[in-house]
Structures are given as structure tokens and as C-alpha cells.
């Protein structure tokens, strides 16, 4: 036990201030979302009816299940959840296939060059997602750069329709989330002891076999962290499908946004958020468990 | 010369994939033609036009202000959270605490945005009912939303540094009779300063970039820069947007270089330390 915080006042302060903030502005809001998902939409400000009513000395609590039943009745929502999960899964796999060799190359580079590569990987993540997605709009549009280049090379006769299709969404998502796969993988791979690989090859394993039998199993925590950092946010992604996708692109983040901003149906939007949260609970817990185990190892 | 191996080739292709679109965007921002797809010669016309766009400029100013306050608050809260997570092994609700601190990293923004908005609406109702205060959404609510989100990032950055830090220096200061708060300010903070600065800069850019949270929790008259850009971009590619996007890209690149230099200096310094650290570690700790 660190003696730093022997004095109770300092300890209490360090814990309680961030605790209170996160409780108030991160955890408590979910309770309110849950509450509103059980209320009925109304034309009012705010646009929902009260859950608790006190009249004639009786407190009545009206739990309206209608929003959840509504979600099961309209196939749009079902398709949007399924579409989100599928798109997130494929994006994660592509990011892993592309990101693993990248992270491996960085981890095996000389130390000074590792820093430069890391900077190059990190920089895009600090640039607005909006702008990076916007850059693709100009490239993929039917009279955009890609089609112009392909046409002038004579590879295609008519411009390809890429923008506003699912292909554009996949390109945009992999583009936006690739760094989040590479960074945790690198952090894991760089800690590997190179003598283990030498031992494997000395004992007669081929380089490929040594990679599958030594490097991959050791990088499990990195694979989990990277995959979760891609999968979970992509399920709820809004900007990429909104700007690059078309009418065929059904993703739950987009549906929730429309339900909230265009239809002003706050209760249905809340129910959508709650269902999304339930779907993501297992991956989020997996991510958290993985993170805290890594942190325990360090201290 | 050795043939580059497979993973290096993928790395270079990946970097090309990450950077080519941004390079193209910047080149096209100097296009004189109004038609974004036709090249009409070089021009800085669209950049000059930005300065006259007062709506955009006030959004820039607002976004910078929010980002500054967000970064400052997030660094204070995030460092405290990191300290609690790495140095206090047992306290009531530790699991919940670390869960609340790491969850915002992966939580889809639409969920966080919606939930915060509903909280602010509920808060406004309570405040109005109890005290008769009207509580409007605006820069304050955007600041709260951004800070909550950025605390998680700062906590991760700072706690990874705290985790690898040699605690013998702090122990020594305490042994020599320094009060804990003084030890923290004079020993711990200088040692973790690079990660605190990196956390500040990271929070600043996160806040500057955010569209989804701000869209949910902003009120009338508090449109941020990403919100302005988004409403323009929805209607298609425009030369003005190319210009402002390039300015942002340049600013972020400079920022990142700055962080990189800070991190590199810290890295060099910590690698110069080892003999010293070894010596300290060898001493019996009382």
C-alpha cells in the first residue's frame, strides 16, 4: 500500500471528485435514458409524458412498454441492428488483417523509427473524423478523383457508383478505425521477447509456424483490445454511414439519430439506445476485463 | 539490400491508405475552380473567403474556447482518476470506478450524447421546479459532455505512466518528512508531466473534433465548428469546406508534432535515468 495516501483526506479527495463527476455525468444519464424509454411520446417540451404522476393521494407509475414492442414490430429496427453488427464485425476483421502486420512491422523496427511510425499512425486519429470522411466523399463520388483516374486509364467505361453504397461505408470505417487496431496491437507486440522466436526457430519451427505458435498467442490481449476498440464504436457509428452510405446502409446509430432529430421521438430513441447498450454489454465488459488485467500486470 | 518483408510492405500500404485522402483534400483546397472535381489552377481564393465568413469564424472561436476549458478540466479529473486507479488498491466501489472511467473510450457517441441530453433536460426541470432557475443548454453543457468523455483518455494516458513510474522517489520524499500533497506536487507531477501535457493536448483535439456529442447537447446559438462543417458537408463537397478542413489538418499536424517532441524528450530522459533508478531500487525501502 502506498503511504502517499495514508492521510484519509487526500485519499478521499482523489477518489471522490472524479467518482462524483463520472457518476453524475456518465452513469446517472443511463438511468434517465432507461426511464424515458418507458414513457410515451407527446407533443410537448420535452416531448414525452411523465412516468410518475401524483394525483388524488396516489402515486401512479406508468411503465409504457410500447416503445420496445414497437421496435419488434417494425422490421426496420431489426434490420438496422443486424446490419450494424454485421458491418462492425466485417470492419473489425479487415482492420485486424491489415493492422496486425502493420503493428508487427512497427514493433520490429529500430526504436527511433518506431516513434515516427507511431506518430504517423496516431496523427489521423487526432484529426476530426468528419474531415477524414469528407475527404473520401470527394474521392469516391461518381465524378470524383477515383472514377476520373480509372476512366482515363481506360479501365472502366462509365463511372462506378461507389459513394452512397455499403462499399464506401466499409472503406470509410476501415479508414477511420484502423489506427485504433494498430495502437493496442503495437503496445502488446513491442513487449514480446525476441529470444522466444529465436528459441522456436532453433528448435526447428519455420518462421510462419513460430509466428502462429508464439507471436499470435502472446498477443491475445492486444487482439482483444484492438478488436473491441473497433467493434464497439462502429456498432453505434453515425458519421460514416450518414456521409458515405446510401439508403441501403441500415445502421442503428443513424436510425437513432433520425428518430431523435427528425421524428423528435425521444422515447423510441431511448429504447433504441437501451437495446444497443444491452447488445454491447458483453463486448464492453470483455474490453474492461482485458484492460484492467493489463493494468494489474503493470503495477 | 535486404528485401522488405511482408509486414513492412503492409505497413507502407496502410500508411499510404491513411494519408493519401488527406493529401488529396489539401491539394484540392487550392483549386481555383468552383467545381470541386475539375482542376482550374492554383488559388488561395477559398482561404481568403474563410476570414469573411463570420458565422464560421464565431464557430471556430466557440470551439476553441470549449476545447480549452475541456482540456483543463479533463486533465485535473483524469489525473486524479489515474492516481486512484493505480495507487489505491482497495476502496469501496473500485470496480465501478474503473468501469466508469474506461467505458467512455468505447461507448458509441450516440448513446453518450442522447443520455447526457436527457440528463440536462431532467436537470433543467429540477432546477426550475426547486429554485426557479432556467437552465439553458449551450457551451456549458457541451463542456460537461466533452470533459466526461476526455477524462477517460487522460486517465488511460496518465495511468500508464504512473504504472511504470519508480515509486522510490516518492517514498524517499515521504521518509524525509514531506507532506503527501507536497510530495505529489514536487515529485510525482514533474515526473508525469509529459503525460499530463499529452493528455491535455489530446483532450483539446478530441473536443475540437467532436460532432455527435455537441449536436445532442448544444442549445440554440451554440453551434460548434464540426456542426457547421457537418451541415455544409451533408449537401456535398464544397471548396470552402476543403479550405477549412485543410486548415484543421494543418493545425492538428502541428499539434501532433508538438506532442511527439514532448513524448520523445520524456522518453530520452527516462532512458538516461536507469543507473540512478537502479541505485535507488537497490537501497532497502523502509
Q: Best mutation site among A101, A122, A296 for testing chain B: the one with the most B CBs within 10 Å?
A: A101
Q: Per-domain residue ranges for chain B?
A: 53-269
Q: Using an 8 Å CB-CB cutoff, list chain A residues near B60.
A: none
pLDDT digits (tens, 9 = 90+) for A267-282: 999 999 999 999 998 8
Tell me, what's the ipTM? 0.85
pLDDT confidence of residue B67: 94
* Residue A48: strand, helix, or coil: strand
pLDDT value at residue A7: 55
Report the top-level CATH class of B53-269.
mainly alpha
Bigger pLDDT: A263 vs B261: A263
Residues of B in contact with A101 (CB under 8 A): 6-7, 10-11
**pTM, whole model, 2 decimals?**
0.85
| Contacting residues for A245 by C-beta, under 8 A, at least 6 apart | A164, A165, A166, A168, A169, A251, A254
Mean pLDDT of A112-140: 86
pLDDT at A119 over 90: no
Is residue B10 within 8 Å of residue A102, measured between CB atoms? yes
- Least confident range from A79-83, A90-94, A241-245, B100-104: namely B100-104
Pick the more confident residue, A212 or A58: A212
Percent of chain B scoring above 70 in pLDDT: 90
pLDDT confidence tier of residue B284, bands split at 50, 70 and 90: very low
Q: What is the mean pLDDT of residues A21-43?
A: 87
Confidence check: pLDDT of B273 > 60:
no
Name the helix (H) or strand (E) containing A207.
Answer: helix A207-210
Average pLDDT, chain A: 86
What are residue A53's phi and psi, to 5 degrees?
A: -130, 135
B108 contact residues in A (CB cutoff 8 A)? 232-233, 235-237, 253, 276, 280
Q: What is the pLDDT of residue B69?
A: 97
B165-223 tens-digit pLDDT: 878 888 888 888 888 888 888 888 888 888 898 889 889 988 988 999 999 999 888 88
Point out the residue among A119, A144, A270 whose CB comes nearest to the CB of B37: A144
Between the two ends of chain B, the Cα-to-Cα distance in Å is 55
* Cα(A46)–Cα(A44) distance, integer angstroms: 5
Of residues B106, B114, B181, nearest to A260 (C-beta): B114
Q: What is the pLDDT of residue B99?
A: 86
Three cell numbers, residue A4: 502517499
What pLDDT sits at residue B37? 66
Mean pLDDT of the region B33-39:
70
Q: Is A21 on the interface with B (CB under 8 A)?
A: yes
Per-residue pLDDT at A299 exceeds 70:
no
Q: Tell me the nearest-neighbour CA distance from A71 into chain B, angstroms.
A: 17
Range B245-259 average pLDDT: 82
Cross-chain residue pair A4–B180, CB shorter than 8 Å: yes
pLDDT value of position A159: 81
pLDDT higher than threshold 90 for residue B64: yes
Predicted local confidence at residue A204, as pLDDT: 85
B-chain residues near A38 (CB < 8 A) = none
φ, ψ at A52 (rounded to 5°): -105, 130
**Beta strands per DSSP E along chain A:** 52-55, 58-61
Residues of B in contact with A4 (CB under 8 A): 87, 170, 174, 180, 183-184
Provide the Cα torsion B215, B217, B219, B222; round to 10°.
Answer: -60
Q: What is the spatial distance between Cα A164 and Cα B192, in angstroms, rounded to a whole number?
A: 46
Query: What is d(CA A214, CA A197) in angstroms, rounded to the nearest whole number?
Result: 7
Q: Are B14 and A260 in contact (CB < 8 Å)?
A: no
Q: What is the pLDDT of residue B2?
A: 58
d(CA B171, CA B22): 49
Average pLDDT over residues A141-154: 82
B143-163 pLDDT, tens digit each: 999 999 999 999 988 988 887
**Cell for A93?**
476483421
pLDDT of residue A176: 93
Percent of chain B with pLDDT over 90: 26
> What is the per-residue pLDDT for B275?
47
Amino acid at each position: 500500500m502506498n503511504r502517499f495516501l495514508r492521510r484519509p483526506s487526500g485519499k478521499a479527495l482523489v477518489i471522490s471528485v472524479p467518482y462524483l463527476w463520472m457518476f453524475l455525468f456518465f452513469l446517472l444519464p443511463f438511468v434517465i435514458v432507461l426511464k424515458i424509454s418507458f414513457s410515451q411520446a407527446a407533443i410537448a417540451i420535452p416531448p414525452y409524458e411523465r412516468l410518475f404522476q401524483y394525483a388524488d393521494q396516489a402515486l401512479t407509475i406508468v411503465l409504457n412498454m410500447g416503445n420496445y414492442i414497437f421496435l419488434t414490430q417494425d422490421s426496420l429496427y431489426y434490420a438496422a441492428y443486424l446490419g450494424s453488427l454485421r458491418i462492425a464485425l466485417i470492419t473489425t476483421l479487415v482492420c485486424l488483417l491489415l493492422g496486425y502486420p502493420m503493428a508487427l512491422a512497427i514493433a520490429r523496427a529500430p526504436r527511433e523509427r518506431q516513434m515516427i511510425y507511431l506518430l504517423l499512425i496516431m496523427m489521423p486519429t487526432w484529426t476530426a473524423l468528419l474531415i477524414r470522411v469528407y475527404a473520401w466523399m470527394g474521392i469516391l463520388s461518381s465524378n470524383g478523383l477515383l472514377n476520373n483516374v480509372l476512366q482515363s486509364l481506360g479501365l472502366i467505361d462509365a463511372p462506378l457508383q461507389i459513394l452512397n453504397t455499403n462499399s464506401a461505408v466499409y472503406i470509410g470505417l476501415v479508414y477511420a478505425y484502423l489506427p485504433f487496431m494498430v495502437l493496442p496491437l503495437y503496445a502488446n507486440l513491442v513487449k514480446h521477447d525476441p529470444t522466444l522466436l529465436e528459441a522456436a526457430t532453433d528448435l526447428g519451427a519455420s518462421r510462419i509456424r513460430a509466428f502462429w505458435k508464439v507471436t499470435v498467442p502472446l498477443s491475445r490481449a492486444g487482439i482483444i483490445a484492438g478488436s473491441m476498440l473497433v467493434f464497439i464504436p462502429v456498432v453505434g457509428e453515425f458519421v460514416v454511414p450518414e456521409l458515405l452510405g446510401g439508403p441501403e446502409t441500415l445502421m442503428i446509430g443513424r436510425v437513432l439519430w433520425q428518430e431523435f432529430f427528425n421524428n423528435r421521438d425521444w422515447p423510441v430513441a431511448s429504447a433504441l439506445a437501451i437495446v444497443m447498450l444491452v447488445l454491447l454489454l458483453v463486448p464492453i465488459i470483455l474490453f474492461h476485463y482485458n484492460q484492467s488485467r493489463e493494468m494489474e500486470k503493470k503495477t | 539490400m535486404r528485401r522488405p518483408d511482408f509486414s513492412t510492405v503492409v505497413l507502407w500500404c496502410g500508411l499510404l491508405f491513411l494519408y493519401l485522402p488527406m493529401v488529396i483534400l489539401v491539394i484540392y483546397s487550392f483549386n481555383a475552380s468552383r467545381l470541386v472535381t475539375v482542376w482550374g489552377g492554383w488559388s488561395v481564393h477559398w482561404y481568403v473567403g474563410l476570414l469573411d465568413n463570420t458565422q464560421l469564424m464565431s464557430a471556430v472561436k466557440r470551439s476553441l474556447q470549449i476545447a480549452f476549458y475541456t482540456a483543463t478540466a479533463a486533465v485535473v479529473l483524469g489525473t486524479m482518476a489515474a492516481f486512484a486507479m493505480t495507487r489505491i488498491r482497495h476502496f469501496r466501489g473500485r470496480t465501478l470506478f474503473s468501469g466508469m472511467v474506461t467505458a467512455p473510450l468505447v461507448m458509441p457517441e450516440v448513446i453518450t450524447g442522447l443520455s447526457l441530453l436527457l440528463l440536462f433536460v431532467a436537470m433543467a426541470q429540477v432546477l426550475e421546479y426547486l429554485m426557479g432557475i432556467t437552465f439553458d443548454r449551450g457551451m456549458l453543457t457541451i463542456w460537461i459532455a466533452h470533459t466526461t468523455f476526455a477524462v477517460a483518455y487522460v486517465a488511460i494516458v496518465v495511468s500508464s505512466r504512473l504504472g511504470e513510474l519508480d515509486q522510490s522517489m516518492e517514498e524517499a520524499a515521504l521518509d524525509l518528512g514531506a507532506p503527501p500533497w507536497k510530495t505529489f506536487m514536487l515529485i510525482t507531477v514533474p515526473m508525469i508531466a509529459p503525460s499530463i501535457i499529452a493528455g491535455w493536448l489530446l483532450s483539446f483535439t478530441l473536443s475540437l473534433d467532436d460532432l455527435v456529442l455537441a449536436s445532442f447537447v448544444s442549445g440554440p446559438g451554440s453551434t460548434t465548428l464540426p456542426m457547421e462543417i457537418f451541415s455544409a458537408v451533408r449537401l456535398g463537397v464544397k471548396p470552402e469546406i476543403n479550405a477549412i478542413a485543410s486548415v484543421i489538418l494543418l493545425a492538428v499536424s502541428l499539434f501532433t508534432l508538438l506532442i511527439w517532441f514532448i513524448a520523445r524528450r520524456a522518453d530520452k530522459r527516462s532512458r538516461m535515468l536507469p543507473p540512478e533508478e537502479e541505485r535507488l531500487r537497490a537501497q532497502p525501502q523502509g
